[in-house]
């Protein structure tokens, strides 16, 4: 019989109180592997760390909690249940020796594998530019997080000032672009809101003509599409289409995320609410997605999967969420947000798999320290380049 949530909360409290047995650790880890780490455990960790670091102001509660969770998740994601007993002594040594001992053991710098860095690189922020139809480029205010397009003008979404008054009443195509380390939001003329992730471009008209609504995307964006009725049929709605890479997505009113970067092999469409149809432009293949489903368009054509959608809209919520992702995949996402280059120098840690979450508001040094503690990689940061090395071989020259 499976453990109830109450039973797991009891085990989590026993873990925090350092009164948990080895058998109970196995039960707790089995539950975490199948259901994820519950909120109650996160709350208990933060409370305990708040007490632990009360005499050490330099420690950060969120940082410490993220590190423990990421390390724990990496173990339960990368090991089979049958292996639990084999590696249980290691887990017991690391995770059951008490929160104070844990925070010292995990987070104290080690002379041979600390992150070597000349500067601490800050996280990305609100950065974007608009390219107008005549080629002019406007740099948007980094103290604002979004703009509103309303036919004849573009304003900041806080209503305090106008970005641009448009001279023509005819639809004009604009392009909103974010750099590496940038994100921005735009509310289109029909009321649809789009959040752009780093290194992305959205092309859209100043207002939509009759018929369908069409925009183009390169990179990653989250769409909250406004339902708009057609002029002559109240029961029907204007289709909204997103053209990206080798596909077109058609929706009515819905929320979804598209990741369509040039340097990634697959385009991923993840549906949060509503219904969308994904169609490839070359082969004509199509499929319909329901909430909680993801469509992948890659070398194998269109494929559909059930997913936890929050793993794929993490960036919009200010987090990195990793679920069984390789070190290269993880570092690729980090590189976009911190505007850095990754140097493997012949070493690509393809066997490293990470699961867990880290705040996107953390400085780069903090993120790399968490990855270092969770895996077998170490880093050297110089200028805006991160060199990746194998921790075991200590290959940094």
pLDDT of 259: 96
Total Cβ atoms within 10 A of residue 37: 22
What percent of the chain shows pLDDT beyond 70?
Answer: 71
User: What are the counts of helices (DSSP H) followed by strands (DSSP E) for the chain?
Assistant: 8, 25
Residue/partner pairs of 162-165 with CB below 8 Å, 24 or more apart? 163/130, 163/138, 164/130, 164/132, 164/138
Neighbours of 364 (CB within 10 A): 24
Report the pLDDT averaged over residues 375-392. 85
Q: Is the pLDDT reported for residue 296 higher than 70?
A: yes
Q: How confident is the model at residue 393 (pLDDT cuts 50, 70, 90)?
A: low
What pLDDT sits at residue 295?
Answer: 96
Q: Are 234 and 216 in contact (CB under 8 A)?
A: no
Per-residue three-class SS string for 60-114:
CHHHHHHHHHHHHHHHHHHCCHHHHHHHHHHHHHHHCCCHHHHHHHHHCCCCCCC
- Strand 182-187 and strand 125-126: the pairing is parallel
Q: In a 3-state reduction of DSSP, which class is residue 134?
A: coil
Query: Do you know the residue count of the chain?
Result: 397
Question: Is the pLDDT score of 59 beyond 50?
Answer: no
The pair of three-digit structure tokens given for residue 351, joined into one six-digit string: 């066997």
What integer pLDDT is reported at residue 205 of this predicted model?
93
pLDDT at 340: 96
Q: What is the pLDDT of residues 244-266, one digit of tens each?
A: 988 999 997 899 999 999 989 89
In order of their start, the domains of the chain are 5-107 (no CATH), 116-121+313-390 (3.55.50.30), 125-311 (2.60.120.1440)
- Higher local confidence (pLDDT), 336 or 37: 336
Residue with tokens 């292996």: 83
**pTM reported for the whole predicted model:** 0.72
Please tell me the predicted confidence (pLDDT) of residue 270.
Answer: 96
């Amino acid at each position: 019989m499976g453990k109830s949530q109450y039973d797991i909360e009891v085990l989590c409290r026993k873990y925090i109180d350092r009164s948990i047995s080895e058998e109970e650790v196995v039960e707790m880890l089995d539950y975490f592997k199948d259901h994820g780490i519950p909120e109650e455990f996160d709350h208990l960790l933060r409370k305990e760390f708040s007490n632990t670091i009360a005499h050490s102001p330099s420690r950060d509660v969120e940082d410490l909690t993220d590190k423990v969770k990421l390390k724990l998740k990496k173990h339960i994601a990368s090991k089979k249940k049958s292996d639990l007993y084999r590696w249980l002594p290691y887990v017991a040594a690391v995770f059951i020796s008490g929160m104070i001992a844990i925070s010292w053991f995990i987070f104290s710098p080690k002379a041979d594998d600390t992150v070597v860095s000349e500067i601490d690189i800050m996280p990305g922020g609100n950065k974007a530019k608009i390219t107008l139809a005549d080629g002019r480029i406007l740099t948007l205010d980094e103290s604002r997080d979004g703009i509103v397009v309303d036919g004849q003008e573009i304003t900041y979404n806080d209503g305090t000032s106008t970005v641009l008054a448009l001279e023509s009443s005819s639809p004009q195509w604009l392009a909103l672009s974010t750099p590496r380390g940038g994100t921005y939001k735009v509310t289109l003329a029909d009321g649809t809101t789009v959040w752009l992730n780093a290194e992305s471009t959205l092309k859209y008209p100043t207002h939509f003509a009759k018929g369908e609504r069409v925009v183009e995307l390169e990179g990653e964006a989250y769409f909250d599409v406004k339902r708009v009725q057609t002029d002559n049929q109240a029961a029907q709605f204007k289709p909204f289409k997103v053209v990206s890479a080798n596909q077109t997505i058609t929706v009515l009113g819905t929320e979804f995320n598209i990741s369509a970067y040039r340097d990634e092999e697959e385009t991923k469409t993840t549906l949060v609410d509503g219904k969308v149809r994904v169609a490839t432009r070359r082969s004509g293949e199509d499929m319909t997605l329901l909430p909680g489903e993801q469509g992948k368009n890659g070398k194998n054509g269109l494929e559909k999967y059930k997913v936890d959608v929050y793993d794929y809209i993490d960036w919009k919520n200010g987090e990195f969420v990793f679920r069984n992702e390789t070190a290269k995949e993880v570092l690729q996402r980090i590189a976009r947000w911190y505007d850095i280059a990754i140097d493997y120098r012949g070493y690509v840690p393809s066997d490293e798999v990470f699961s867990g979450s880290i705040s996107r508001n953390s400085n780069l040094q903090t993120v790399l320290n968490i990855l270092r503690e969770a895996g077998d990689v170490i880093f050297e940061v110089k200028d805006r380049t991160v060199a990746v090395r194998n921790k075991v071989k200590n290959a940094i020259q």
